[in-house]
Structure 1
Amino acid sequence: MLDRYKKKGGFNQLLQLLETSPTTKREQFLGLISGESPAWEEALRKRILTIDKVYSWEGQYLVEIFSRVPPLTLANALHGAPPEQVEQLLSCLPPISKRKITDLLAESNPNPAEKSTCISKMLSEVRGFIAQGILKLERIDPDLLIPENIEEMLSLGGFTVPMPTYEQDATKKDAKPHVVGETTDPGAQQEVDFLKRKLNQLAAEVNALKHENSVLKDKLTQIKKIA
């Protein structure tokens, strides 16, 4: 199953497939993926964008989303949520915009399939905002960032988690735990953390530029057809 997604860009394609699949089907997919490669399953599960993750973001980021998605899509996605949650989520909007959404919530009555479709649309919109640089994952949720060469990294064994080893000291009864890949030098650790954040930021910028380039190519193609 994974062979077709191991090429460059395949991780994003598979992630999009999982994000737009119903929860039950998504878990089935992840089970199959885990059977082939636990590293892929872990990396995908960590980066799957769900509506609950989006709703957990701070208001300054939610307003960027809610003000850009169609009001009816947002209302249908929120339909059925507890009133206190709706109130909390919409508190980021100006009063007029908030009133418009609450009015639509009162009027609309989407069935489960319609609500699911609107949630998928919202998640697709959020992915687009991320690609365009409107939303910065390095500020919102760095764990969702996707390295540029993630397929290659996974094919080389995935993301290694530091495992504790033990420095044997013959003069002491107890061994000292030492975590591979970490340092006890605060200055060095800060530099490592900075470089990691910088790498994630650059990866996000590259993805945004790729999306912009794709949009411009499509426009150029349309212009050529008209000409």
Structure 2
Amino acid sequence: MGMLDRYKKKGGFFQLLQLLETSPSAKREQFLTLIAGESPVWEEALRQRILTITRVYSWDGQYLVEIFSRVQPMTLAYALHGNPPEQIEQLLSCLPPISKRKITDLMTESNPSAAEKGTCISKMLSEVRGFISQGIIRLDKVDPELHIPENIEEVLSSTVHAVPLYETDAMKKDSKPNIVGDNDGAVAAPANSQETEFLKRKVNQLASEVNALKHENSVLKDKLAQIKKIA
């Protein structure tokens, strides 16, 4: 069973997307590389829809005000802390003057560490995902490229995509012609070698899936602890 198999059910794409979004960038790229090995189509679709704070900041002010007015002021202040002044001014221009002043005052009074800022950015992205689920933010209107069709798993599964890398390698080895005059023993040895290599790849693939599940569990625990700490 491939890593993607457990995510091909309804809702699995979003579950995998959340795993990627809550993973550190290096780990995220490792996951995407594994996914690309099984299905470049899935990898491309996931990469295209990963929600980042930069992407959120690029949205129109009429949508940003829906977000900024709902997140905790301290969370927003920490997330924006250290950003270029002109960017902060542009982003907060969607808020009423009183709300804007509250955020800027908090930014002046606070000095969050890089870890605290990162935690608040993650919290904001998590809340934005919640607003999307609740229909407060409609991606089909706000940012169509991030919109996830309801039947995306079915669409991706029915799309013709590349053969997984480990299968391609195995097929290349199997394509060696059976030369007339070769004895059966000589042919059998490469076949056994091919099977061994294929099984090794499957074991490595399953090990990667187990590690991904462990990481997912760890990320969710850390995220819960961070949210409790901020709250």
TM-score by length of 2: 0.66
How do residues 59-78 of structure 1 correspond to structure 2 at under 5 angstroms? 59-78=61-80
Instruction: State the shift of 1:158 in Å.
Output: 6.0
Q: Quote the Cα distance in structure 2 between the aligned partners of 1:117 and 1:158.
A: 39
2:14 to 12, 15, 22: 12
Moved more, 2-11 or 65-74: 2-11
Matched residues, number? 159
Q: Does 1:46 align with 2:34?
A: no
Instruction: State the shift of 1:156 in Å.
Output: 1.2
Runs of 4+ residues deviating >6 angstroms: none
Q: Does 1:81 align with 2:77?
A: no
Partner residue, 1:26:
28
Q: Quote the Cα distance in structure 2 between the aligned partners of 1:22 and 1:109.
A: 23
Cα 1:12–1:158 change in 2 (3 A) is: farther
Q: Which has the higher helix share?
A: 2
Partner residue, 2:182:
none
Q: Quote the Cα distance in structure 2 between the aligned partners of 1:40 and 1:82.
A: 35
Partner residue, 1:204:
none
**One-letter amino acid of the structure 2 residue matched with residue 88 of structure 1:** Q
Unaligned runs of 5+ in 1: 160-227
**One-letter amino acid of the structure 2 residue matched with residue 63 of structure 1:** V
Partner residue, 2:4:
2
SS class of match (1:93): coil
2:157 to 147, 155, 158: 155
SS class of match (1:146): coil
Partner residue, 1:126:
128
Unaligned runs of 5+ in 2: 162-231
Q: Which deviations, in whole Å up to 9, do the C-alpha atoms of 1:111-170 show, x marking residues without a partner?
A: 2221111111111111111111111212111111111111111111269xxxxxxxxxxx
TM-score by length of 1: 0.67
Q: Which deviations, in whole Å up to 9, do the C-alpha atoms of 1:198-225 show, x marking residues without a partner?
A: xxxxxxxxxxxxxxxxxxxxxxxxxxxx
**One-letter amino acid of the structure 2 residue matched with residue 92 of structure 1:** C
Higher relative contact order (CA 8 A, sep 6+): 2
